[in-house]
Amino acid sequence: MKFFIDTANIDQIKEANDLGVLDGVTTNPSLMAKEGISGEDNIKAHYVKICNIVDGDVSAEVIATDFEGMVREGEILAALHPNIVVKVPVTKDGIKAIKYFSSKGIKTNCTLVFSPGQALLAAKAGATYVSPFIGRLDDIASDGVELIYQIVDLYSTYGYETQVLAASIRHTQHIIQCAEAGADVSTCPLDAILGLLKHPLTDLGLEKFLSDYRKLNP
Ligand code: E4P
């Protein structure tokens, strides 16, 4: 499973990238706003900055909601850097735009996916990635991880090449569950990735190894 980081924060992207296990980045308009990035030129420059840090796909979301607008914006975003993936919401115009981008060889990430039917349409349109939002489903007392199982199963039945990118991951256990469900990618907050390292027996074991060493090597 690939690991993406779900943030527009440069320090966090650098920290995750320095671990050596980062495969890409996802952003969205809320995450960009959280970093105070505004204005067309600043937004574009921020995407380029991210692409220059991470050697992997970087999702940049369109703001337009109509087909023509999405195509216009997406083409500008895709021209910024070869690693840019145009992120498009799963609406009627969004699906048309994904189909258009895929016919032009532009990579896409179909976002705001909450059902297997939406994921099927994304794959039919040729999306590179589909992003089911598991945390937001859990928030409304639904089962986000179950959706990952359903989409992975459907895609494997029909041989779709669209990669399942588990999104809206809230904690470390979600990452494990998505890996078990067969997600191709998990996009996660930095804390959730670092949480994978944590185990009290690792800390205790390391402490013991070091204290035993120090006894003979004062
Ligand atoms: C996916 O690409 C989105 O950026 C994301 O995972 C949204 O998650 P949230 O529910 O934490 O906002």
- Predicted confidence at residue 167, as pLDDT, reads 98
Q: Phi/psi class of residue 63: alpha, beta or left (left: φ > 0; alpha: ψ in -120 to 50)? A: alpha
Q: Catalytic residue among 14, 49, 87, 92, which?
A: 87
Whether this prediction's pTM lies above 0.75 is answered by: yes
CB of residue 187 inside a 6 A radius of ligand 1 = yes
- Rounded (5°) CA angle 135-139-143: 65
Alpha-carbon distance of 209 to 42, in angstroms, equals 50
CB of residue 57 inside a 6 A radius of ligand 1 = no
- Predicted confidence at residue 79, as pLDDT, reads 98
Q: 196 φ, ψ to 5°? A: -65, -25
- Predicted confidence at residue 55, as pLDDT, reads 97
Report the nearest-CA residue for atom 5 of ligand 1: 168
Per-residue model confidence as pLDDT tens digits over 105-161: 999 999 999 999 999 999 999 999 999 999 999 999 999 999 999 999 999 999 999
Residues 89 and 68: beta-carbon distance below 8 Å = no
CB of residue 136 inside a 6 A radius of ligand 1 = yes
Which residues of the chain have a pLDDT value below 50? Answer: none
Q: Report which of 109, 184, 173, 108 is spatially closest to residue 135, judged by C-alpha positions.
A: 173
